Structure 1
Amino acid sequence: MGPRWKGKGAEAKALADPMSEIVSRLQSSLLQSNARASLSGCSVLLAVETEQTELLTRACFGKPIITAEKDKQWFQLGLEEAFYLCYSLKCLKIAGEDNFVKNDLDLWLYMKLKKENFPDFYKAYSHLRMKNWVLRPGLQYGVDFVAYRHHPSLVHSEYAVIVLSEGDVGRLRVWSDFHCTIRLCGSVAKTLLVLNVDRNGHGALAPSCLERCSIEECTITRWSPEQSRDHQKASENGTK
Structure 2
Amino acid sequence: MEDDEVASGSIPAPSIPVKWKNKKLARPSSGMAELVQEMQETLPVVGIFHCGFVWLEPSEDEVELLERGAFGKPLPHAEILRRQAYPEEVLRSIERRSFIAQLELEEAFFLAYAVGWLHIKDSQGVRIPATELWRLFQECRPTFLPLYTAYHHFRCSGWVVKNGVQFGADWVLYRGHPGEIHSEYCVIVAAEGLPPRLDTWVDLHSETRLCRQVVKGLIQVNLIQDRGTASADPTEHLASFSIEEIQIKRWQPERHREGPQE
**Whose helix proportion is higher, 1 or 2?**
1
Which of 107, 113, 117 aligns to 2:133? It is 107
Aligned pair partner of 2:69 in 35, 52, 59:
59
- TM-score after normalising by structure 2: 0.79
TM-score normalised according to structure 1 size: 0.86
Partner of 2:240: 212
> Is the 8 Å Cα contact of residues 121 and 163 (structure 1) preserved in structure 2?
yes
- How many angstroms does 1:169 deviate by? 5.0
Aligned to 1:20: 33
**Contact 1:193–1:220 (8 Å) recurs in 2:** yes
Aligned positions of 1:131-210 closer than 5 A: 131-166=157-192, 168-200=194-226, 201-207=228-234, 208-210=236-238
2:213 and 2:168 map into 1 onto residues whose CA distance is 13
Q: Using the TM superposition, give the Cα deviation of residue 116 of structure 1 relative to its aligned residue in structure 2, in angstroms.
A: 0.5
Task: Give the structure, 1 or 2, with the largest relative contact order (CA under 8 Å, sep 6 or more).
Answer: 2
Bigger Cα displacement from structure 2, 198-207 vs 116-125:
198-207
Matching residue's letter, 1:185: C
2:100 to 74, 90, 104: 74
CA apart distance, 1:25: 2.3
| Aligned mates of 1:96, 1:169 — CA distance in 2 | 31
User: How many residues end up aligned between the 2 structures?
Assistant: 229
Deviation at 1:70, TM superposition (A): 9.3
| Matched letter for residue 135 of structure 2 | L
Which residue identity does 2:252 align to in structure 1? S
Match of 1:44 in 2: 54
User: Of 253, 256, 262, which residue of structure 2 is paired with 1:225?
Assistant: 253
Q: CA deviation at 1:5?
A: 2.8
Shift of 1:53: 0.7
- How far apart, CA to CA, are the structure 1 residues paired with 2:170 and 2:137? 17
Q: Quick one: distance in 2 between partners of 1:71 and 1:169?
A: 39
The counterpart of 1:4, out of the listed 2, 5, 19, is: 19
State the Cα deviation string for residues 211-230 of structure 1 (Å, max 9, x = none).
1111111111111011223x
Shift of the 171–122 alpha-carbon distance from structure 1 to 2, 3 Å rule, reads same
Whether the aligned pair in 2 keeps the contact of 1:19 and 1:150 (CA below 8 Å) is no
1:65-88 Cα distance to aligned partner (Å, 9 max, x none): 111689852210000000001111
Q: CA deviation at 1:20?
A: 3.2
Sequence identity (%): 36
Query: Conserved in 2, the CA contact under 8 Å of 1:84 and 1:126?
Result: yes
Measure the CA separation in 2 of the matches of 1:140 and 1:155. 16
RMSD: 2.5
Distance 2:126 2:189 in 1: 32
Name stretches of at least 5 consecutive residues in structure 2 with no aligned partner: 1-13, 79-94
Query: For the Cα contact (< 8 Å) 1:53–1:73, is it kept in 2?
Result: no
- What is the identity, as a one-letter code, of the residue corresponding to 2:206? C
Amino acid at match of 1:44: V
Relative distance call for 1:167 and 1:175 in structure 2 (3 A) is farther
CA distance in 1 between counterparts of 2:133 and 2:141 reads 12
Identify unmatched segments of 5+ residues in structure 1.
none
Task: Check the 8 A contact 2:45/2:62 in 1, yes or no.
Answer: no
